[in-house]
Amino acid sequence: MDVMQGGRIPFAGQVQNYQTAVQTLVNILGDRDTASERLSQCIFTVGMGSNDYLNNYFQPAFYSTGSRYTPEQFADSLIADYRRYLQAMYSYGARKVALIGVGQVGCAPNELARYSPDGATCVGRIDGAIQIFNRRLVGLVDQMNTLPGAHFTYINAYNIFNDILANAGAYGFTESTAGCCGVGRNNGEVTCLPYQAPCANRDQHIFWDAFHPSEAANIIVGRRSYRAQSPNDAYPMDISTLASL
């Protein structure tokens, strides 16, 4: 049973779609070398992992992965899939790739509502598992960068989001633990409902709903991903540097 609603294309399907698009590009441009040159200048961004934790590993009522895998084993399994699909992208011409790390899932309103004693303290066992995955993702970047012409980089969304939470007021946020819409504790027990009026001060909320950051928070993450504000924001380079290569 899947707790999410609506259709989604898994990473494997997205990579297949990319491969199909590359074949079309080859046909349009006339040959593979021209297509490869064009693709080598493109920037690809890949963000994977949040739902594997939110809606799988930490959903024991629906999935058994939490009992079958240790956090280390689960991260290894995800990274093995990640590596395979990135290698497929590379073989089809992707050279500049930004991998977006998983943010602080344990601080989302849904997780606070379910597991935090005070509704404000982030859930350590969840964030600990996320950090294991992110560390392996950094290692994957290093591995991919051994390939000829590859320029892979890691965007440390966890670090950026941690800074936003720790300095919420300085960023203009007044609410860091509750969604702008939703139901129950932290507006996180049930996410935004159809026709439910959201909060009037959405730009002052770090979270839009039970799971997702607000637009205001995402703008900060996006800006720091493009041009790092801290040395920890990106490894080995930010997206603006990647664009200049």
Q: Over the stretch 11-21, which tens digit does the pLDDT of each residue have?
A: 999 999 999 99
Q: Over the stretch 141-187, which tens digit does the pLDDT of each residue have?
A: 999 999 999 999 999 999 999 999 999 999 999 999 999 999 999 99
Q: What is the pLDDT of residue 7?
A: 75
What value does the mean pLDDT of the chain take? 95
Partners of 152 in the beta sheet? 97
Quick check: helix, strand or coil at residue 230?
coil
Question: How is domain 42-244 classified at the CATH fold level?
Answer: Rossmann fold (3.40.50)
Q: What is the pLDDT of residue 6?
A: 55
Eight-class DSSP state of 102: P
Burial (CB count <10 Å: 0-12, 13-18, 19+), residue 55:
middle
Q: What is the pLDDT of residue 2?
A: 38
Helix 157-166 to helix 124-144 angle (10° resolution) is 140
Where are the domains positioned within the chain? Answer: 42-244
Phi-psi sector, 205: left (phi>0), alpha (psi -120 to 50), beta = beta
- Asked whether the predicted pLDDT for residue 3 surpasses 50, the reply is no
Q: Over the stretch 46-86, which tens digit does the pLDDT of each residue have?
A: 999 999 998 899 989 999 999 999 999 999 999 999 999 99
Q: What pLDDT band is residue 133 in, cutting at 50, 70 and 90?
A: very high
Q: What is the end-to-end Cα distance of the chain in Å, rounded?
A: 45
